[in-house]
Structure 1
Amino acid sequence: MAVFVRVAESGSLSRAARELKLSQPSVSRIVGTLEARLGTTLLLRTTRSISLTEAGALFLERSKHLLAEMEEAEQAARGVDSLHGVIRLAMPVLYGTRAVIPALAAFLARHPDLRVEIVMSDARQNLIMEGVDVAIRLGVGPLDDSSFGARRLALIERLVVAAPAYLAAHGSPANPGELAGHDCIVQHGVFGRESWRFTHNQTVTSIDVRAKLWINSAPGILAAAVAGMGIALATRVMAGEELRSGQLSQLLQAYRLDPAEVYAVFPAGPRPSAKVRAIVDHLSRALGS
């Protein structure tokens, strides 16, 4: 049943085989045995794709619930202190490197039978196809994965930053309105807007900035800012080292940006497994502090 779920969600025998550490013929044989036992076809296979039959779609939803219930039952029998198995955790690159991964050390030391597989990307992955148990996501405003379960873990201060070399060459903006005359670095996706919103003395102002660079990853944004290529938005967590070392300076400190929100997202729905709840509880304490 677990093999069938991974094949159905990933849409690929070979991908499921790699993730389950089985051979592709073994995966095909297991699914075939399941279909023979049920007396119906669950998957339609072609040379290029796999799709669910109507019976397969029904069986997939029930299978996922049954597997979750089985894991809960096993965990209840073992006790809270004996979490085991694999958690597949997705996260953005820079925030994951600087905040999430360091926070996992204590959790893994406390649960030696757990293994965490980390998927790092600043692109929005298809969490179902990737077989992700929980994803850490950053954003400003409502999440776009409304069908998933989610829990907010932390709020992070956002800053306007630039390198001293850029400021020496172009000057420092005295107020948000002056950003329109500067080269700005904008990130696709998460904070990918050319309109930056500031609050000052309870007055909200949106400024349309001039994007000199569009970059699709936070490490790229940070590298471009440090290289003196323009003014960028960053969170204090992501740019903390560069601010402390003097590679970047914080600008417009009297003006506040909306904070970034950190969420744990559950592709399987609002009732994650015990091991996922445990890691999210830990990250909530670590990241929220």
Structure 2
Amino acid sequence: MNLLVAMKVYDRVTALGSLSAAARDLTMSTTAVSRMLKELEDDLGLRLINRTTRRMSLTEAGREYAERVKVLLAEVEEVQDSTRRLDRGIRGVLRVSCSNVLAHTRITRLIPAFLAENPMIAIEFNLTSRYVVGIVEEGYDVAIRFEAQTDSEIVSRQLGTVRNHVCAAPSYIAARGRPRSPQDLASHNCVLSNFAKRMGSWPFGSKDGRISVPIRGRVSTNSIESAYQMTVAGAGIGYLPSLLVRDAIADGRLETLLEDHEPVSSPIYALYPHRTYVAMKVRAFIDFLMRELSPDLD
């Protein structure tokens, strides 16, 4: 048994919660993963995981071993990176999760320049509309999102902010009129989305500080891109990032509303697992984004 490989397998099994998920992540067969776990348990002389046909759970020893293995693997990665630093090489596969709107409007176009600067790095770039992604559980090195995470195992580093606009299509305004204050939104049809957790209320800045007004609408979506398209089509009033609506406002497909009431900007974060040591490939990518992205992503 290769002990280091067995530890890596155990780490993925405990992170992903099943042998089959770990097998897919490691491009191994489930049989091979199961055999390696048994060999690891035999070597230790104790059971790490209680397994049935329907579920698995860690024993007390298994939980402690999982924490120690995670630390050890991070130290091994540090040793590898330190050695690579001797020839000034940063290498490896960087697994990145990015929200669709940020990928399409900003991040994707930067990837070729990052790869040119780091010729020994490869990127696995996955897009999703999901608000939350399990960075550790799904094996990502970095996730780029509109919100920080409160999980103590995740570091949230702000890359910049995006200005938001309250806007609607001319056809909607002609039919329903313009709201004159944020409170007027209660009598309008708003396009609801989970963008930055704003499904049921929208935040505004005011002279008295930040306020949050309740909104309602006949349509809701988990995709900010769909919310944008429905707003352009006249389905209602949208609260949307400038990254999406700037061109539509410029060519008249959308009109801004409530110009005297500033919608709260949305911060952009790079999220990565909290470790004593952060891999060089992760540091390089985040430093690159900090350099290439302006503080205001408008």
Please report the TM-score for the alignment, with normalisation by the length of structure 1: 0.89
The Cα shift of 1:217 comes to 1.4
Give the aligned residue type for 1:87. Answer: L
Percent identical residues: 36
Instruction: Confirm or deny that 1:88 pairs with 2:105.
Output: no
| Contact 2:163–2:266 (CA under 8 A) maintained in structure 1 | yes
The Cα shift of 1:205 comes to 4.2
For 2:190 and 2:276, the matched residues in 1 are separated by 39
The Cα shift of 1:138 comes to 0.9
For 1:66 and 1:146, the matched residues in 2 are separated by 19
Report what 1:47 is aligned to.
53
Report what 1:135 is aligned to.
143
Instruction: Confirm or deny that 1:161 pairs with 2:167.
Output: yes
Q: 2:192 aligns with which of 186, 195, 217?
A: 186
Question: Equivalent residues in 2 for 1:214-253 (5 A)?
Answer: 214-253=220-259
Question: Equivalent residues in 2 for 1:205-220 (5 A)?
Answer: 205-220=211-226
The Cα shift of 1:160 comes to 0.7
> Can you list the C-alpha shifts for 1:76-122, whole angstroms capped at 9, x where unaligned?
21128422222222222222222222222211222232222233323
Report what 2:4 is aligned to.
none
What CA RMSD, in Å, does the superposition of the two structures yield over aligned residues?
A: 2.2
Please report the TM-score for the alignment, with normalisation by the length of structure 2: 0.87
Report what 1:69 is aligned to.
75
| Contact 1:149–1:271 (CA under 8 A) maintained in structure 2 | no
The Cα shift of 1:231 comes to 0.5
The Cα shift of 1:229 comes to 0.2
The Cα shift of 1:189 comes to 6.2
The Cα shift of 1:286 comes to 2.4
The Cα shift of 1:196 comes to 2.2
For 1:210 and 1:171, the matched residues in 2 are separated by 16
| Contact 1:149–1:270 (CA under 8 A) maintained in structure 2 | no
Instruction: Confirm or deny that 1:264 pairs with 2:270.
Output: yes
For 2:163 and 2:281, the matched residues in 1 are separated by 29
For 1:24 and 1:106, the matched residues in 2 are separated by 38
Give the aligned residue type for 2:94. Answer: I
Report what 1:21 is aligned to.
27
> Can you list the C-alpha shifts for 1:203-256, whole angstroms capped at 9, x where unaligned?
544432232322111112112111110011111123234334433222222321
Q: 2:110 aligns with which of 103, 111, 126?
A: 103
Give the aligned residue type for 2:141. Answer: D
Report what 2:260 is aligned to.
254
For 2:274 and 2:27, the matched residues in 1 are separated by 22
Label 1:179 to 1:147 Cα distance change in 2 as closer, same or farther (>3 A).
same
The Cα shift of 1:5 comes to 0.6
The Cα shift of 1:197 comes to 2.7
Label 1:191 to 1:115 Cα distance change in 2 as closer, same or farther (>3 A).
same
SS of equivalent residue, structure 1 residue 173: coil
Label 1:69 to 1:269 Cα distance change in 2 as closer, same or farther (>3 A).
closer
| Contact 2:152–2:274 (CA under 8 A) maintained in structure 1 | no
For 2:115 and 2:174, the matched residues in 1 are separated by 46
Give the aligned residue type for 1:138. Answer: F
How many residues in Structure 1 have an aligned counterpart in Structure 2?
Answer: 287
Label 1:154 to 1:270 Cα distance change in 2 as closer, same or farther (>3 A).
farther
Instruction: Confirm or deny that 1:116 pairs with 2:145.
Output: no
For 1:16 and 1:181, the matched residues in 2 are separated by 50
SS of equivalent residue, structure 1 residue 196: strand
Give the aligned residue type for 1:12. Answer: S
For 1:31 and 1:203, the matched residues in 2 are separated by 56
Label 1:145 to 1:189 Cα distance change in 2 as closer, same or farther (>3 A).
farther
